[in-house]
Amino acid sequence: MTGPLRRRWWWTGPDGPGQSLRVQVALLLAALILPTLLMVLTVIPGVIVQRFAQIERDQVSQYTRIAQEDLNTEERRVGLFVLNFSQWTETFEFAAGRNATFPAQVMVPSTFTGGRVDYAGIMSPQGTLMAAAAMQGDAVVDAEALVSTLMGTLPRTLPPDGVSGTVQVAGRPYLLAARTITRDDGSGSGGVMLFARALNAQALGALMHAEKTFTARLGALPTAGQEALTFAPGVVTVASPLSAPDGPPQLALQLSIPRDMYRAGQATVLQLKVVAVLITLERPFALREGEVTLKLVAGFSQSAYPVPFTALLRQAFLALQHAMDRNEHLGVFNEDMLRRSQYGHTLETQLQGAVSRQELSLMYQPISDVLTGQWVSLEALMRWQHPQLGVVPPGTFIPVAERSGQIYQLGEWALQTAAREIEQARALWPGAHVNVNVSPLQLLMPDFAERALGTLAALNVPPTLLTFEVTESTVMQNVELACRHLARLREAGVRIALDDFGSGHSSLSLLTELPLDVVKLDRSFLRDGVQDTARGALLRNTIRLARDLNLTTVAEGVEDAGMLARLRELGCDYAQGYHISRPDYLEDLLSLRT
């Protein structure tokens, strides 16, 4: 007799909730991911936002001090200009009514333009306005009404050092300075000398060392209860009072500062959240059905202006491609990516037919015995000389060839050319041997090993003359397939070299797991490892382990005799680099071979 049927919900497995794949994933998310996400999506971004806000406030304070100092500098300059004229006997005599020709001699265009002032006035000791002039265009005109008003903003008695400040007359701002008039020797008290300049937007802008970081204007003082510092979505506005020659401030210096720091902080937080999610999810999940690993990469694009969705999507795709090329979690779009994309499209188009147009060539760099200095092999390096674009570096066109699928043709051409040229070189160098680099896409071909051996057979070149160089990242894309290809090639006599070892997170266990003959130590590994550091110990252990595994070692990037001597001490077998020889064409290298 069968028991009662149990009701099965959408989230349960056939044996109940405990066996459901959905439940396993949900529990994993809750137990492992959610606490981490809570931290990286709330706590850390909050700290970052606070830090950026403080930086923005510090920036506002700094810009305010710069603008105020610019205005104070101009105020002091006008004050010194007044000092020059106020301590002058001719001015003293005119204020006393005894030098009638003074205005015609002094109130001239050169005085205004040389002193960069707009208004001038002289008042007698009795308070009578003796002269009032202004620069209008190229001529000096009478300005009695305005100068009289400006004189009225001064204190009744001037201090010994005079006064200066910013005032507002009829809704317009003016910067002025005034001093008591004396004789040349400083004696006497003969009235008041005043110079002033209008602070319109153009004049104020010329005074500021803003360099497009802020804009300044003079405006009303903040009213009671109004904040001097206001934050809008795109701009920060700050108002600071300016001293007047007498009484309370009449105007405020108002700065408008773009919120670049705020936007940078928001973008940083958003990118951090995206990267945090990607990294958090990028981990192996042990499920009942097996282990699942997620690899997540994102492209990010935004615009401060309205743009079509398709344009943003294309930009995000370019950023995604950028991140994938550099093995990063997040790519953030910028204009350089667009230019590189356009250049890459040009390269992709021009790369088609480069073989038939004979624009490609191979250069070779020798690998020498560390002890004897004798060359033991040559590494083939592809070069592209375009008639219009010039020399295109392999680091530029190889990724383009891989993305466009043209790497298969280029790889086949490189193998054929290297094999044919090294076979011809044996007439002069019987022990000639060549290293050829293998692209990850080539190694992922199901028939790569057979195709390579078929190429050598068609050219009647022994496989023993060839070494294929592969990188760790190339092999790890499909370890089983890669090992199958490499084992088949080794059986036929081709040697296998693991290239760029030590450039990233290389594992010593790879040396025991992969079918290898040679380990090529990356130049960065060597540069750090020749010192007595942890990297140095790792370099020594790597060379020792390779020797124990019957693997030969090649040090790349050997640039001087000191490096070569250190490699001898460490027991490295071979060396490659500019100290040995720079890459060159085969016929030129053969003439130099020792």
For the segment 548-590, what is each residue's pLDDT rounded down to a tens digit? 999 999 999 999 898 899 899 889 999 999 999 999 999 999 9
Residue 38 has pLDDT above 70, yes or no: no
Give the highest mean pLDDT range of 5-14, 17-26, 454-463.
454-463
Q: Quick check: 463 and 456 in contact, CB under 8 A? A: yes
Q: pLDDT band for position 455 (50/70/90)?
A: very high
Instruction: Report the chain's mean pLDDT, rounded to a whole number.
Output: 84
β-pairing verdict for 298-300 and 330-332? parallel
Q: Quick check: 132 and 143 in contact, CB under 8 A? A: yes
Written as one string, the DSSP assignment of 488-501 is: HHHHHT-EEEEEEE
Q: pLDDT band for position 9 (50/70/90)?
A: very low
Written as one string, the DSSP assignment of 38-95 is: HIIIIIHHHHHHHHHHHHHHHHHHHHHHHHHHHHHHHHHHHHHHHHHHHB-HHHHHHH
Reference 140, options 159, 166, 165, 118; nearest CA is 118
Written as one string, the DSSP assignment of 276-294 is: HHHHHH-SEEEETTEEEE-
Lowest-confidence pick of 75-79, 214-218, 319-323: 319-323
Q: Quick count: other Cβ atoms within 10 Å of Cβ 11?
A: 11
pLDDT of residue 491: 96
Residue 506 has pLDDT above 80, yes or no: no
Beta pairing partners, 366:
378
Residue 17 has pLDDT above 50, yes or no: no
pLDDT of residue 299: 80
Residue 357 has pLDDT above 90, yes or no: yes
Q: Which two tokens stand for residue 589?
A: 């290298």
Helix (H, G, I), strand (E, B) or coil at 398: helix
| H-run or E-run covering 455 | helix 448-458
Give burial (CB, 10 Å; 0-12/13-18/19+) of 250: buried
Q: Higher confidence at residue 450 or residue 340?
A: 450
Q: Higher confidence at residue 473 or residue 89?
A: 89
pLDDT of residue 47: 65
Residue 507 has pLDDT above 70, yes or no: no
pLDDT of residue 28: 56
pLDDT of residue 287: 55
Contacts of 239 (CB under 8 A, 6+ apart): 219, 221, 222, 228, 229, 252, 253, 254, 255
pLDDT of residue 438: 95
Q: For the stretch 45-72, what's the b/e string if a residue is b when 16 or more beta carbons lie within 10 angstroms of its beta carbon?
A: beeeeeebeeebeebbeebbebbeebbe
Contacts of 240 (CB under 8 A, 6+ apart): 64, 68, 228, 252, 253
Residue 19 has pLDDT above 60, yes or no: no
Q: pLDDT band for position 11 (50/70/90)?
A: very low
Q: Quick check: 84 and 153 in contact, CB under 8 A? A: no
| H-run or E-run covering 311 | helix 309-325
Helices and strands (DSSP H and E) totals, the chain: 22, 23
Residue 14 DSSP class: T
pLDDT of residue 18: 45
Query: What's the start-to-end Cα distance of the chain, in Å?
Result: 92
Q: Higher confidence at residue 48 or residue 175?
A: 175
Q: Which two tokens stand for residue 389?
A: 């674009």
Contacts of 89 (CB under 8 A, 6+ apart): 183, 184
Lowest-confidence pick of 37-46, 197-206, 476-485, 502-511: 37-46
Q: pLDDT band for position 13 (50/70/90)?
A: very low
pLDDT of residue 271: 66
**pTM surpassing 0.85?**
no
β-pairing verdict for 466-471 and 495-501? parallel
Positive or negative, the CA dihedral 407, 412, 415, 416 is negative
pLDDT of residue 16: 47
Q: pLDDT band for position 487 (50/70/90)?
A: very high
Rounded to whole angstroms, the maximal C-alpha distance in the chain is: 134
- 565-568 CB contacts, 8 Å cutoff, 24+ apart: 566/530, 567/370, 567/526, 567/530, 568/370, 568/371
Give the highest mean pLDDT range of 150-154, 328-332, 561-565.
150-154
Q: pLDDT band for position 118 (50/70/90)?
A: very high
248-294 pLDDT tens trace: 999 999 988 888 777 777 777 776 666 666 666 666 655 554 555 56
Residue 532 has pLDDT above 90, yes or no: no
Q: Quick check: 384 and 359 in contact, CB under 8 A? A: yes
